[in-house]
Structure 1
Amino acid sequence: MIDKIAWLHLRDGRILSTRSRGKEVYYLPGGKREPGETDHDTLVREIREELDVAIVPESIAAAGTFEAQADGHPAGTLVRMTCYTAGYRGTLEASSEIEEIAWLEHADRGRVSAVDQLIFDHLHETGRLR
């Protein structure tokens, strides 16, 4: 099981997604915990590293946990994505290993990882993603 934290940032019915250098698939911003980190610590660090913005810690809110086959791993390797919403300060910019940021909608679900597809479906069903 791969355990990851993700930021769900929606605007005008679209969700912020990222594409790493050398990859074709888009992923929700976030990543794995470092030793001793809480979910909130991980979210703040990963978003600062990937998008060069500061998450507002007091605005972090749980948004669900999703599991699916891990992209690029042997069959049976699952990823568990614990998702949070949060406000931020700064200007979103691709940083670190991120080559591109994109605002995707449900019609783009074929461009994202399996676990992100589940999240896209959930957000679409609840009227948050067009």
Structure 2
Amino acid sequence: MSKRGIVLLAHGARDPAWAVPFEAVAARVRERAPEAVVRLAFLELMAPPLADAGAELAGLGCTRVDVVPVFLGGGGHVRRDVPAQLARLRETHAEVVWTLHDALGETPHVIAALADAAIDLAGLGFAAGHHPLDGLAT
């Protein structure tokens, strides 16, 4: 059986507190997928960058690494910068199958969760007879 790695790739910010929700996502992924080696990486302003996280997973013997952009949309970074960085990882670690996924914010799960959270924060969810997690696929 091959060893799996997951890189959750976030943008990065100067304020270290910005990373707290992303660290919580990484912890949740580790909890739900204990068979995978999970790393949080950043495109800029924070460490580790994708290159370092990817090299670490390759060094740990991961033969497949899924790169999941933790972005709301697939803008320029996800369409241009990330594929260029991933191409370098593919050259350096050809023994690893690298898969770049769509931005998380474009998935039905996240769209539903964001909509439900907005409704809940506005106080409309329960008052209108809807639970904030109704319709969220598991």
- Per the normalisation by structure 2, the TM-score is 0.24
Whichever structure has more helix as a proportion of its residues is 2
- Considering Cα pairs closer than 8 Å and 6+ residues apart, tell me whether 1 or 2 has the greater RCO: 1
Structure number, greater radius of gyration: 2
